[in-house]
Amino acid sequence: MNNPMNQPVNDPKAAALEGKVTLITGASRGIGLAIAESLSRMGAHVALCARDERRLQAVVSEFGRDGRRAIAVAADVSRASDISAAVRKTEQELGPIEILVNNAGIGYFVPVQDGTEEMWDAVLDTNLKSVFLLSKAVAPGMIERGSGHIINIASMAGKSAFAGGSIYCASKWGLLGLTQCMAEDLRTHGIRVSAVCPGSVNTEFSPHTGKDPRKMLQPADVAHAVETIVTQEPQSFISEISLRPAQKP
């Protein structure tokens, strides 16, 4: 039997998202790449969006070798013009976007008195404004079709303060507020908006001094949460998932 995605033929998830067009930001590595891998294995056609075009192309080549449909979309999501171009390219090459995963994020971790306006603008533009602009770009098509998923990768930093986290926490607290309001605006149109709030994940995003990486959350754990969201029954939606490691790292 032809099984191009190398999934067991009795895997119920193997075709759960068959042909659904998915745009994932921050998808060249870490959490975003894990989500792209997961949704692609479930049959989705994925547009991987990130700034590093060379790395994106390498990832897309790997997907292609497994017979999965994926495209690279090089963009800086802090720029409105790049966002418009990314959405346009995805829809021209794959079709209408049915799932949007806003995962791109950056952080500066310094005491508030050492933070700069440039740091603030970079973090808020990437972690918060981009979500507003991307969601605004795909929402009209989802409204017209009466369905869609928008999933925002937030953080436990959107719920808990810590020293040196003022700029990053502000972006993630804002993201949770934006997510909740978007969910109310769009739910009557058949669009489900959700947030995933992981604790520290074992990626290169930020230093994890003194933590045991084996006990930390892994990118695949976040991807599993996204899988859960996009395979909900149609009469309900999961508004938020808080994700913690089984043991403190």
Catalytic residue positions? 168
- 2 touches 14 (CB < 8 A): no
Rounded to the nearest 10 degrees, what angle do helices 166-186 and 117-124 cross at?
30
Write a three-state SS string for the chain: CCCCCCCCCCCCCCCCCCCCEEEEECCCCHHHHHHHHHHHHCCCEEEEEECCHHHHHHHHHHHHHCCCCEEEEECCCCCHHHHHHHHHHHHHHCCCCCEEEECCCCCCCCCHHHCCHHHHHHHHHHHHHHHHHHHHHHHHHHHHHCCEEEEEECCHHHCCCCCCCHHHHHHHHHHHHHHHHHHHHHHHHCEEEEEEEECCECCCCCCCCCCCCCCCECHHHHHHHHHHHHCCCCCCCCCEEEECCCCCC
